[in-house]
Structure 1
Amino acid sequence: MRIIVPAISALLSLAGCHEKPSVTSEVRSSRDGVATLHSRATLKDGSARFQCLRSQSGRCHYLVFAEGCPDVSAGESPTADCDVKPVDSFSLVPGDEKQLPGLSRDFRHCVDAMAMPAAPQCLN
């Protein structure tokens, strides 16, 4: 028994029974303690799935793009002359989702409950 379990585990790992890595980001916002937006985006194998989970306005507005802007998560400020390349823009109602294949791992997106976001300003 001591040998069977590790042997089966090794065989399963060789067979590729491991889930592939993914990256998930969630956006939540609220006003006066009331949730106004909840969205989730998951990138796996070059395909992104966008999910509108809640929106006070009844729609989640998405802008998906590739860009050569400074990294705001590292404390750098976006500039007006960033090289923004739109990939797609769309709106979803809560409960809906959209799949976008062929995205690079470094794609960016913004989501808003009230209007279509504008890049790179939406990164602030």
Structure 2
Amino acid sequence: MRIIVPAISVLLSLAGCHEKPSVTSEVRSSRNGVTTLHSKATLKDGIARFQCLRSHSGSCHYLVFVGGCQDVATGESPAADCDVKPVDSFSLALGDEKQLPGLSRDFRHCVDAMAMPAAPQCLN
């Protein structure tokens, strides 16, 4: 019995009972100690899930794009003439979420509580 339980545990771990990796980005803004915007975006298996968790206006406005605008390694700001390719723009009511399939790990997004963001300016 002492050998059977560990053997079963090893077999189950080899069977691939692992959660797939994901990438999560959260944006939070506050004014005078009060949260004005809280948004969460999670990419898992090529599907991005955007959630509007808090917004003082009642909506979160998203711009999703791809493009080599910013040097991720150095964190340098993008140039004004940066080449971005919009994928989607949408607004979500507070508490709503949206899924976008087919996005790669290098997608970028901006979110604002008041108006639709403009890229690449929203990366500054």
Measured against the shorter chain, the TM-score band is over 0.9
Please name the residue that 2:60 is paired with. Answer: 60
Q: Judge conservation of contact 2:23–2:42 (CA < 8 Å) in 1.
A: yes
CA-atom RMSD in angstroms: 1.5
Q: TM-score, normalised by structure 1?
A: 0.92
Alignment of 1:17-96 (within 5 A): 17-71=17-71, 74-96=74-96
Report the CA distance between 1:31 and its aligned residue: 0.7
Task: Determine helix, strand or coil for the equivalent of 2:105.
Answer: coil
* Runs ≥4 residues deviating over 4 A: none
Report the CA distance between 1:2 and its aligned residue: 4.3
Matches of 2:28 and 2:5 in 1, distance apart? Answer: 43
In structure 2, runs of 5+ residues without a counterpart are none
Which whole-Å deviations, capped at 9, do the CAs of 1:71-113 have from their partners, x for residues lacking one?
A: 2672312101211000000000111100100001110000000
Q: Give 2:55's aligned amino acid.
A: S
Matches of 1:106 and 1:2 in 2, distance apart? Answer: 48
Q: Give 2:88's aligned amino acid.
A: D
Matches of 2:80 and 2:5 in 1, distance apart? Answer: 58
Q: Judge conservation of contact 2:77–2:123 (CA < 8 Å) in 1.
A: no
Matches of 2:21 and 2:4 in 1, distance apart? Answer: 28
- Report the count of equivalent residues: 124
In structure 1, runs of 5+ residues without a counterpart are none
Please name the residue that 2:4 is paired with. Answer: 4
Q: Percent identity?
A: 88
Please name the residue that 1:109 is paired with. Answer: 109
Matches of 1:13 and 1:52 in 2, distance apart? Answer: 36
Q: Give 2:68's aligned amino acid.
A: G
